[in-house]
A and B are shown apart, each in its own frame.
Chain A
Amino acid sequence: MSGTITIAVYPNETPPDAVSRTLDVSDATGLDVSDVNPDESGIDDRSREISVSRNRGSLRCQFNLNDDHSPDEPLLSLGGLSDTVHPQQAQNDGNYDEWMDIVFELVCRLATELGADYAAWLNTARGPMASVPKERPIGEAIERVPVFGVYSTAVLEDLGGVDELFGAEPWYVADIDGERTLVIESEQPWVEGGWRPPTEAVYLDHAEFRDMADPDHSVQLSDPFADLESGEYGSDVGVEPDDIADEFTNDVLRLRRVRVDDERNLRRAGDSAFVRNIVDEKHDGQLDLIQAMLTEIPRDPNTDEHASALLHEAIPRSFVRLDGPDDENVVTKVMNLETDVSKHDLLVSLGRLAQQDDFTDDDLASIEGALDTLDELDGEHVDAYIRENLL
């Protein structure tokens, strides 16, 4: 299970006809409200629960109409959504994006009609109370903004504006009616089900995707061989161009003991066959940098090219450098392990350790020692140990 989803709507003041307004909005959004009798759906005197539906989708509107309800209680919460809004539902039901469009439109229209200061998409699996305002002003009471939320101008100001909501640029921002902004943090998990919110609709003033899914920000690349002198030895791990896929699986990774030649190429230590170019120039983007590994291939009869899998910024020079062609280092020891765990991920994870400020040569030696110990353990314990302690 992926948690229970509830959308909570907090207006500044409760409109006197909140229930009928909600029914009107639901009707306008194409939901079936014909069977609903709001007067016969009380939980208690001042609470109401009604269900509206369309085809197989339905949602539950719970109202708290008490004038003196506590600040964490919304006027309206939308529930019964968990079966239909998780993207995994897309596999069961071809109507996922159509249903998400309806839920999205409903939230936008309700925010306007009910005069919402704040509306939040809450997931019980993600600590919902951090996004529930327990006092006023709302903008100062929210500990963590929701992945999908609507904010009045005043609440958004208290939160520091759209740019301050998340650590990074949000994926989608919409001005609903000139007074409210809807912000979605990232394309996950929605795109898994194939849904994207609209950029043009009658109920939206203006909407745009901000984060254009530029993965360049996710990881910096650098070549750990860039600091090696000509004539020095090292160990490179890579994949042949035909084996490139969207992850480095152990079966395609190959270890090559190499020497840096005078033209800044890596060549096999034994027979000097060309392996790849060292990337020590500045490059405009990651794709150019990756390309540069195999740009100047000499016209030798025997080459042994691969694209290095060690360009992740976390992997330091000390992991790849060898004192001599037959020496061992972190890279050779990891490649020597008999394990199903991703060796690439393990190298990056160990590289992260080496990035700590207080990392010393002794620490490097203890990593190498731990890898030697692992090599002596029998197979299944190696995997369990790496998974639990080193990844």
Chain B
Amino acid sequence: MLTDGGRVEFREALNDRAITGRTLAQFRRGSSDQTWRELLDRDVCNSPCESTIRSVYQYTKDADGLDNDEAKKLLNAYATADEVSVGPGSSGSATVQQRIDDLADSNVDGVTDAMADVSASTTGYKQIAGETEAARGLLDGSDIELSDDYYGLSDGPNVETDVDVNVEWEITVDGTVLDSPSIESKNYNPNEYSDFLVRQESSDLIDKFVTQAESRVDKDSFVLVTTDEYLDRLETLGETSRIRDAVQQRTSADAEVAFTTYNELEN
């Protein structure tokens, strides 16, 4: 006889929600161009393709590398690449993985942690695509790390904020010389945001920069790296000057904010 608790647990184990995965998601979305037969055919290059999958699993081999769940999350994030049409990531997951491999080959710190931090979603995909694109643009001549550092203030504005890329060097952004700035990557497509959502995002960003400036010693310059399209939108709405002014007013050391795009960093 099974106990009542045993039966309930058993039913949980049979529950549909336990089954996740890309194949099933594709069926549910009613994807018609990819039948299950193609998925069974080992020669078909799905998104991500096998070389990318192999490359990701390379990072599971080291003791301090990715674990299998983290690798799977990253690959599931890569599987959403088709949904990104603007900015980093829009050329596909193979390009993003290539960026990651380049950074790892250049011994940039924090690459594995940045990979492990990705959620299995479009947001996660855009996050890793943006961070690695920004880091690559800064790579020449700079000592950089993909950061997993967190900073916060117990009395706000944020209890906890994260840094995307740390630069330990002097760099010039948009004509301004900045000493060892923190880089914030926002890989956004402005078509996905009404004005009020852009403004709320900007105010979140102000809080974040203020928190970091007030909680860290010698960190009083920040760079927002975003897509050309999103930076245009920020300028049209007057948000770049609002962010710059607000951060300066609310920090004791008159912290500076500069704005740039992934493309500008690249050049």
Contacts and interface: CB of A to CB of B under 8 A. Distances in A.
A57 B20 CA distance: 35
Interface string B5-26: 0111111111111111111100
A173 interface: no
Nearest to B28: A352
Nearest to B192: A129
Contact of A366 (B40, B193, B204): B40
A74 B200 CA distance: 12
B27 A82 contact: no
Interface stretch (B95-103, B154-162, B174-182, B225-233): B154-162
A353 B21 CA distance: 13
Contacts, number: 176
Interface residues of A, number: 77
B7 A291 contact: yes
B9 A389 contact: no
A258 to B, nearest CB: 19
A72 to B, nearest CB: 4
Interface stretch (B86-94, B119-127, B132-140, B214-222): B119-127
A222 to B, nearest CB: 11
A80 B196 contact: no
B122 to A, nearest CB: 8
Given A244-B9, A389-B46, A77 B196 contact: yes
Nearest to B52: A388
A291 B8 CA distance: 10
Interface stretch (A1-9, A152-160, A322-330): A1-9
A244 B10 contact: yes
B7 A290 contact: yes
B29 interface: no
B22 A388 contact: yes
A3 B186 CA distance: 12
Nearest to A312: B14
Contact of A391 (B7, B23, B160): B23
Interface in B27-65: 27, 36-37, 39-40, 42, 46, 48, 53-54, 57
Contact of B16 (A53, A60, A72, A219): A219
Nearest to B208: A83
A93 B46 CA distance: 42
B68 A340 contact: yes
Contacts of A1: 119, 123, 127
Contacts of B199: 43, 47, 49, 62, 77
Contacts of B23: 349, 389-391
B119 A6 contact: no
Contact of B18 (A295, A345, A353): A345
A249 B194 CA distance: 46
21 contacts: A2-B119, A4-B197, A6-B197, A72-B195, A79-B200, A92-B159, A124-B123, A124-B201, A125-B123, A215-B12, A244-B9, A247-B13, A286-B11, A290-B2, A348-B19, A349-B19, A349-B24, A352-B24, A388-B46, A391-B21, A391-B23
